[in-house]
Amino acid sequence: MDHADDDGDADDDVFVYMGGNQEVPDDVRRVRVHKSVKIIRRSAFMLCSRLVSIEMHDGVEIIEEEAFMDCDTLKRIKLPGVRYIGVDAFNRCEGLENVEFGDKLERIGEGAFEKTSIRSIKLQRVRDIGIAAFAECLQLTEVELSKDLETVGGGAFVRCPLLRRIALPLKENMLENDVVFRGCDDLSQIHRHSWRDP
């Protein structure tokens, strides 16, 4: 553990994640990803139920399967350089409300954000969204999807009861099946792609 400051308060300890086969303590609260790390390994932070913050640099490109699964207290995360988010990477992170997706992200795996509290989604370059990727996101109200989007997996947004608005490109065979939005009873606005490049 590295101290974030010199006041000796144990709550201010910051764990520096070095990647590879490094073991992460179950009770870790604050994490800084070392600048050498490009991949958050499979299950690296799984079941870290006290994790509240993680500082991610823009060199992190891949978040592997189940990397943050069941991190209940994680509320927000920035993913500036991430290109791929693996299966169940943030599944059941029930406290996760705010995710800043960077403009490098291309693929989101199955169940990646299932059962989180994410409120809005803005994806600039994503091509593929996996099955049930955002299923049962009970606080989700608004989604804006990339003009580059090619496929949306079955049930990707199933049972998101507060989802009211979604903007997406209209492409043939883009939606994998007709249950992508099942259980989204508030969904009243589906807009043709409206993304504006900066």
Instruction: Give 47-57 pLDDT, tens digit per residue.
Output: 999 999 999 99
Which residues fall within 8 angstroms of residue 122, CB to CB, at 6 or more apart?
101, 143, 144
Residue 12: what pLDDT? Answer: 62
- CA–CA separation, 60 vs 57, rounded Å? 6
Q: Which two tokens stand for residue 71?
A: 């991190």
Which residue segments constitute the domains of the chain, with CATH numbers given? Answer: 38-198 (3.80.10.10)
| Model confidence band, residue 1 (pLDDT cutoffs 50, 70, 90) | very low
Mean pLDDT of the chain: 90
pLDDT of the residue at 169:
86
User: Each residue of 187-196: b (16+ CB within 10 Å) or e?
Assistant: beeeeeeebe
Phi-psi region for residue 127, left (φ > 0), alpha (ψ -120 to 50) or beta? alpha
- Residue 111's region, left for phi above 0, alpha for psi from -120 to 50, else beta, is left
DSSP code per residue over 61-86: -EE-TTTTTT-TT--EEEETT--EE-
How do beta strands 2-3 and 13-17 pair? Answer: antiparallel
Residue 101: enclosing H or E segment and its boundaries? strand 98-101
The verdict on pTM exceeding 0.75 is: yes
Is it the case that residue 34 has pLDDT exceeding 70?
Answer: yes
